[in-house]
């Protein structure tokens, strides 16, 4: 590849903060709120003009479950934000979803405002339309001293004491030289999905169709009939999900775009173009085959393709499939996960892999899985946390990202306040603080701490 040498350049130090959070999805939002509420001077940097990650950028239509089927396992900041979104929606929405914690539909425009308010109320500062292009390490390469950011103002340097990588792709960890894995043994990645919102649909007519036809809510009969007739391409045999924001407005998660690596701009570009074309095919199918969708009007597609899988850091502990299946807990648990393993096929010929835990059960997420090997002041929270590929297919969803983000933000505050590295943070004190601030860490941890679960 042809290269050029850039001249040396001095850039201004635009900010100095205790905790720098990069990435404004659920993990970054919770991390920034947690760090700031505890007293750390915190800056959240996000490349878009709003927060929310896949729920707003990619229009993923609903939150995955917060519960294990019996009780909420994701509490604290994540549950608080879910309830704030509900209360900010209209009366009909509130009546429909007031008591629901699993598969709650997302009203993206409401959620953007909820996130803005929650972050700023915490005392954190937000900086949108800003991209981290480079980081600076200390001389020994074990500590991040700050980040070079680029935006309309220009290039500048943000100095920081501690960093939380909430990019979803482990971008900061990769820039820091931390080891990571990506995809399966052959480099295969879960496909992306272009989600979208439709107006002028009729939920009552759709529900009547389901009742009279015997088709399920994911309409496999209609999908497979359309595939047999050539009106839909081969691939998944059902719609991933409809999320009804109102009786005439629905979010749709349907189909796949294969072969997209979310860490490559060229792939994201192709995925966006293919995704939008695919949505037109899907809408034509819905209008033709599904009662209630005859007049469906496309309101919006995601700003980018929804990405399920890219990098996974190699942390001090790597969560593996046996941890999930055996429902293991750890001495340093900072969250619990009950979402099923959900690995989407890498090609249209493959099958979706799903494994579920028994109702009421979950497994632990250890603090060590947030700590990338070799870096002393960096936490990686969200779908890029340290796990094997199977567990990543479960851990990656938004409620879990909130929980990991709250733990990372709290730990970064503690490390900065005590002048400690990430690995020197006393886990029992971290767990105590998380529980006091609403997190649920499982019966064993609560029993040990003497706090009601």
Q: Which SS3 state, helix, strand or coil, does residue 259 take?
A: coil
Give pLDDT, residue 351.
63
Give pLDDT, residue 211.
97
Is a pLDDT exceeding 80 seen at residue 286? yes
DSSP 47: S
Task: Write the DSSP string, 83-137.
Answer: HHHHHHS-HHHHHHHTT--SSPBP-HHHHHHHHHHHHHHHT-EEE-S-EEEEEEE
Give pLDDT, residue 353.
75
203-222 pLDDT, tens per residue? 999 999 999 999 999 999 99
> What average pLDDT does range 167-191 have in this prediction?
95
Q: Which SS3 state, helix, strand or coil, does residue 338 take?
A: coil
Provide the pLDDT confidence category of residue 350 given band limits of 50, 70 and 90: low
DSSP H helices in 290-388:
321-325
131-137 vs 144-151, strand pairing mode: antiparallel
Is a pLDDT exceeding 90 seen at residue 249? yes
> What average pLDDT does range 431-438 have in this prediction?
97
Provide the pLDDT confidence category of residue 345 given band limits of 50, 70 and 90: low
3-45 pLDDT, tens per residue? 999 999 999 999 999 999 999 999 999 999 999 999 999 999 9
- pTM greater than 0.85 (yes/no): yes
Fold of 13-185+309-337+362-449: FAD/NAD(P)-binding domain (3.50.50)
Is a pLDDT exceeding 90 seen at residue 100? yes
Give pLDDT, residue 355.
87
Distance separating alpha carbons of residues 168 and 206, to the nearest angstrom: 35
Mean per-residue pLDDT of the chain: 96
Of 266, 278, 268, nearest in space to 195 by CA: 278
Give pLDDT, residue 267.
98
Distance separating alpha carbons of residues 260 and 251, to the nearest angstrom: 22
User: Is the Cβ–Cβ distance between 122 and 37 less than 8 Å?
Assistant: yes
């Amino acid at each position: 590849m042809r290269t050029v040498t850039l001249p040396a350049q001095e850039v201004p130090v635009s900010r100095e903060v205790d905790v720098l959070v990069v990435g404004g999805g659920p993990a970054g939002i919770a991390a920034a709120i947690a760090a700031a509420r505890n007293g750390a001077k915190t800056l959240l940097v996000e490349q878009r003009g709003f927060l929310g990650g896949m729920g707003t950028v990619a229009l993923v239509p609903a939150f995955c479950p917060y519960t294990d089927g019996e009780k909420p396992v994701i509490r604290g900041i994540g549950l608080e934000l879910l309830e704030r979104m509900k209360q900010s929606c209209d009366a009909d929405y509130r009546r429909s979803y007031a008591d629901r914690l699993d598969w709650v539909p997302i009203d993206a425009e409401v959620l953007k405002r909820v996130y803005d308010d929650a972050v700023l109320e915490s005392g954190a500062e937000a900086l949108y339309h800003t991209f981290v292009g480079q980081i600076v390490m200390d001389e020994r390469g074990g500590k991040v001293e700050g980040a070079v950011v680029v935006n309309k103002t220009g290039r500048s340097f943000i100095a920081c004491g501690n960093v939380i990588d909430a990019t979803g792709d482990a971008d900061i960890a990769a820039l820091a030289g931390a080891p990571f894995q990506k995809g399966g043994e052959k480099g295969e990645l879960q496909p992306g999905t272009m989600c979208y919102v439709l107006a002028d649909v009729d939920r009552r007519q759709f529900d009547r169709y389901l009742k009279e036809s015997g088709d399920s809510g994911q309409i496999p009969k209609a999908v497979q009939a359309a595939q047999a007739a050539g009106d839909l391409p081969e691939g998944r045999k059902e719609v991933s999900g409809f999320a009804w924001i109102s009786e005439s407005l629905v979010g749709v998660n349907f189909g796949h775009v294969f072969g997209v690596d979310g860490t490559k701009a060229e792939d994201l570009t192709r995925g966006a173009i293919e995704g939008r074309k695919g949505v037109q095919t899907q809408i034509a199918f819905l209008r033709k085959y599904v009662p209630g969708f005859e007049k469906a009007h496309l309101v919006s597609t995601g700003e980018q393709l929804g990405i399920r899988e890219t990098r996974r850091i190699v942390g001090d502990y790597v969560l593996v499939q046996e941890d999930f299946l055996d429902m293991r807990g750890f001495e340093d648990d900072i969250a619990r996960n009950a979402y099923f393993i959900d690995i989407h096929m890498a090609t249209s010929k493959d099958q979706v892999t799903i494994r579920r835990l028994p109702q009421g059960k979950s497994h632990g997420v250890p603090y060590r899985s947030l700590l990338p090997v070799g870096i002393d002041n960096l936490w990686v929270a969200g779908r890029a946390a340290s796990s094997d590929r199977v567990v990543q297919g479960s851990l990656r969803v938004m409620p879990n990202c909130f929980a990991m983000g709250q733990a990372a933000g709290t730990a970064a505050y503690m490390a900065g306040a005590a002048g400690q590295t990430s690995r020197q943070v006393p886990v029992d004190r971290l767990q105590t603080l998380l529980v006091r601030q609403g997190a649920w860490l499982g019966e064993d941890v609560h029993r040990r701490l003497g706090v009601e679960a």
